[in-house]
Amino acid sequence: DIQMTQSPTSLSASVGDRVTITCRASQSITTYLNWYQQKPGKAPKLLIYAASNLQGGVSSRFSGSGSGTDFTLTISSLQPEDFATYYCQQSYRTPITFGQGTRLDI
Amino acid sequence: EVQLVESGGGLVQPGGSLRLSCAASGFTFSGSWMYWVRQAPGKGLEWVSRIDTDGTSITYADSVKGRFTISRDNAKSTLFLQMNSLRTEDTAVYYCARVLGWADYWGQGTLVTVSS
């Protein structure tokens, strides 16, 4: 199975900060990497697909980059609604696997 | 508008069975691969199963293989998850999601609690 490791697992930041979350795959997944945001009690929401493509309707302050084994999600200027948990997910091969999540707190 | 609505969750004893449903609307269900993903209380996301458009290609997580069965009824735009031999560790919110290589739409989830 492909293991997905996110860092950090938790992060404290302030409104207006630039934040970067890292995701590392245990083997190359080319660009089969997706990012999701989840708020408490809600379903996950797709932010970025195929490593760097912004899902429709998602703010342009979110961006993704990377290929192979190393990927990043960047939030350019944190807004109050961005405080949530973020997950990476590989869709290169089954079993589909998620990172353990990064909780972003104020 | 794309909508996915799960149902069928509830409280069941260990060893019992449940059948989850996911009613889809607002898109061509018969042309979409689908996932089930679960989330145990306070934990992260765990992929459970995937099905292709006509049910001929199906994969499962090792943790549910042999106990859970994914299926679909394209005429009724509905996805199913038959869960047998349930264990306490299957307690989770179960989500269905549409797949385009990535899960772009998710349902609101249905809670399954396995407890005596």
Contact call for B45 and A98, based on CB within 8 A: yes
Q: Is A99 on the interface with B (CB under 8 A)?
A: yes
**Measured between alpha carbons, how far is B65 from B71 in angstroms, rounded to an integer?**
14
Q: Is A36 on the interface with B (CB under 8 A)?
A: yes
For the CA atoms of A73, B108, B36, B19, what is the dihedral angle to 10 degrees?
A: 170
Closest CA to A31 of A89, A99, A100: A89
Q: Tokens for A76?
A: 């350019």
Mean pLDDT of B33-41: 97
A74: pLDDT strictly greater than 90: yes
The pLDDT of residue A85: 98
The pLDDT of residue B49: 98
The pLDDT of residue A63: 98
What would the pLDDT profile of A29-55 be if each residue is shown by its tens digit?
999 999 999 999 999 999 999 999 999
What would the pLDDT profile of A8-23 be if each residue is shown by its tens digit?
999 999 999 999 999 9
Compute the C-alpha angle B108/B91/A7, nearest 5°.
75
CA distance A75 to chain B (A): 20
Other beta carbons within 10 angstroms of residue B77's beta carbon come to: 18
